[in-house]
C-alpha cells in the first residue's frame, strides 16, 4: 500500500501544484529577506522538551507549510510565532523568534502588539457568538485601529476572504448559522480585517469537507499576494498544492525518558521536498512508509 500512496502523491502534486512550484514562481533556494525566522528555537512545557533547535526562515509573500507526524512539534512552533504559547501554563521558550529582525520574545515586547501583526486561524472554525458583521469588526475595535468606515472595512475583509457574495444579505445574522467552511473563511476574514503582516494557520482545513477545503486553499493562494502565510497541515497533498516551501518535522524519543521531542528534519522548496528530498526520513514520510 505504501508504494501506491507515493504513486498517488506525485500526480496530484504535479497536476494541482504545478502553477506555483518554483519553476513558475522562480523562488530562490533560500528565502531572501525573510519576514520571520526562528533561531535555535526550543520549547518546553514544564520539564517536557517539546521542540529542539528549530531554525527556519519564512519568506515574504510565500506560503510555508510545516508538515510531519502527530506530536512532532509543528503546531508548537507555529504557536510560538505569535506568542500564543504564552497562554499555556508552564510553556517556556528558548532561542529566538525574529520578526523583521526583532526578537518577539524579548522582555520589552508586548505580545498583544505581536498578535496584531501576526494573525492566526485555528484548526476548528471559531467564530464569536455574534453577528457576521461584529465578528469582522471585533478585531479593529479591540485593537483601536483607526477606521473611517467600518462597513467598508467589513466588506473589504469579507471580499478578501471570498465570502462577501454569500453573506452580504445576512451580515446581522449570527455567524453560527454559517456552514463549517463559511465559518472558517469568516475566521480568515476576521484575521485580515486587522490588516496583519503574517497569517498563521493551524490545520485550517482539517475540520472541513473536500469542497470547503478546496475553497480555503484557493483563498490561501490569493492571500499570498498580500500576506505571508505559514500553515501547519496534516495533509501532504495540501502542502504540495498550496505551499512554496515545506518544512518537515519529526519526533525523536528521548533515550532515557521516552518523551518525544520534535525537531526539524528538512526545509526546502516544496517541489524539492516532494520530488527529491535529501533526508531518508522525509522521503519515507512523503511516500507513506513512515511508521
Partner 1 sequence: MSIAATTARQVTLATGKSKDRTPVSLAFLVALWFSLFFGVVVLLALIINTAIDGSGRFDIELLTNYVSVVRPEATGFRAGILGSLWLMGFTALMAVPLGIAAALYLEEFADPTTRWNRFVEVNLQNLAAVPAIVYGLLAVAIMALLGFRDTGIVLGGALALALLILPVIIITTREAVRAVPREIREGSLALGATVWQTTWRQTLPSAIPGIATGTILGLSRAIGEAAPLVVVGLAGSLLFDPEGVMSSVTALPMQIYSLTSNSREALREAASAAIIVLLAMVLGLNALAIFIRNKFQRSW
Residue 41 C-beta: closest distance to partner 1, Å = 19
- Strand, coil or helix: 51: strand
Residue 196 C-beta: closest distance to partner 1, Å = 8
Q: Measure the N-to-C terminal CA separation of the chain; round to a whole number of Å.
A: 13
Q: Does 191 bind partner 1 (CB under 8 A)?
A: yes
| CA distance readout (Å), 198 to 99, 142, 172, 225, 227 | 10, 19, 29, 12, 6
Residue 121 C-beta: closest distance to partner 1, Å = 8
Q: Which among 34, 70, 69 is positioned nearest to 55, based on CA atoms?
A: 34
- Strand, coil or helix: 256: coil
> Which positions from 115 through 134 interact with partner 1, judged by CB under 8 A?
115-116, 119-120, 122, 124, 126-130
Residue 234 C-beta: closest distance to partner 1, Å = 18
Q: Does 19 bind partner 1 (CB under 8 A)?
A: no
C-alpha cell of residue 126? 471559531
Q: Does 187 bind partner 1 (CB under 8 A)?
A: yes
Q: Which of 174, 237, 259, 275 binds partner 1 (CB under 8 A)?
A: 174
Binding pattern for the stretch 78-117 against partner 1, x by CB under 8 A and - elsewhere: ----x-x--x-xx---------------------xx-xx-
C-alpha cell of residue 51? 521542540
Nearest residue (CB) to partner 1, 2 versus 142 = 142
Q: Does 138 bind partner 1 (CB under 8 A)?
A: yes
In angstroms, the CA 43 to CA 147 distance is 38
CA dihedral 174, 180, 186, 192 (to 10 degrees): 150
Nearest residue (CB) to partner 1, 141 versus 281 = 141
Residue 181 C-beta: closest distance to partner 1, Å = 17
Residue 131 C-beta: closest distance to partner 1, Å = 9
Per DSSP bridges, beta strands 36-45 and 198-202 are unpaired
How many residues make contact with partner 1 (CB under 8 A)? 28
Q: Which of 142, 159, 253, 257 binds partner 1 (CB under 8 A)?
A: 142
In angstroms, the CA 185 to CA 195 distance is 15
CB 90 within 8 A of CB 46: yes
C-alpha cell of residue 177? 448559522
Residue 99 C-beta: closest distance to partner 1, Å = 14
Q: Which among 130, 195, 201, 202 is positioned nearest to 160, based on CA atoms?
A: 195
| Residue 35 CA, distance from chain mean position | 14
Nearest residue (CB) to partner 1, 188 versus 219 = 188
Q: Which residues bind partner 1 (CB under 8 A)?
A: 82, 84, 87, 89-90, 112-113, 115-116, 119-120, 122, 124, 126-130, 138-139, 142-143, 174, 176, 187, 190-191, 194
Amino acid at each position: 500500500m505504501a508504494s501506491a500512496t507515493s504513486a498517488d502523491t506525485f500526480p496530484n502534486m504535479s497536476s494541482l501544484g504545478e502553477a506555483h512550484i518554483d519553476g513558475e514562481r522562480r523562488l530562490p533556494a533560500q528565502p531572501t529577506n525573510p519576514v520571520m525566522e526562528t533561531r535555535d528555537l526550543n520549547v518546553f512545557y514544564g520539564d517536557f522538551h517539546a521542540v529542539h533547535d528549530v531554525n527556519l526562515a519564512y519568506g515574504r509573500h510565500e506560503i510555508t507549510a510545516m508538515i510531519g507526524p502527530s506530536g512532532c512539534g509543528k503546531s508548537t512552533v507555529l504557536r510560538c510565532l505569535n506568542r500564543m504559547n504564552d497562554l499555556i501554563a508552564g510553556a517556556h521558550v528558548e532561542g529566538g523568534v525574529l520578526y523583521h529582525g526583532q526578537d518577539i520574545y524579548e522582555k520589552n515586547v508586548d505580545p498583544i502588539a505581536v498578535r496584531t501583526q501576526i494573525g492566526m486561524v485555528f484548526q476548528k472554525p471559531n467564530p464569536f457568538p455574534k453577528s457576521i458583521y461584529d465578528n469582522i469588526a471585533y478585531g479593529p475595535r479591540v485593537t483601536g485601529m483607526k477606521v473611517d468606515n467600518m462597513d467598508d472595512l467589513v466588506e473589504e475583509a469579507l471580499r478578501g476572504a471570498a465570502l462577501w457574495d454569500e453573506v452580504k444579505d445576512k451580515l446581522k445574522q449570527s455567524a453560527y448559522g454559517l456552514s463549517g467552511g463559511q465559518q472558517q473563511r469568516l475566521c480568515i476574514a476576521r484575521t485580515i480585517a486587522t490588516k496583519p503582516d503574517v497569517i498563521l494557520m493551524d490545520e485550517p482545513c482539517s475540520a472541513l469537507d473536500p469542497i470547503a477545503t478546496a475553497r480555503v486553499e484557493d483563498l490561501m493562494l490569493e492571500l499570498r499576494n498580500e500576506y505571508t502565510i505559514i500553515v501547519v497541515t496534516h495533509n501532504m497533498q495540501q502542502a504540495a498544492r498550496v505551499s512554496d516551501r515545506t518544512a518537515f518535522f519529526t519526533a525523536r524519543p528521548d533515550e532515557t525518558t521516552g518523551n518525544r521531542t520534535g525537531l526539524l528534519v528538512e526545509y526546502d522548496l516544496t517541489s524539492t521536498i516532494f520530488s527529491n528530498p535529501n533526508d531518508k526520513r522525509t522521503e519515507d514520510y512523503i511516500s507513506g512508509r513512515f511508521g
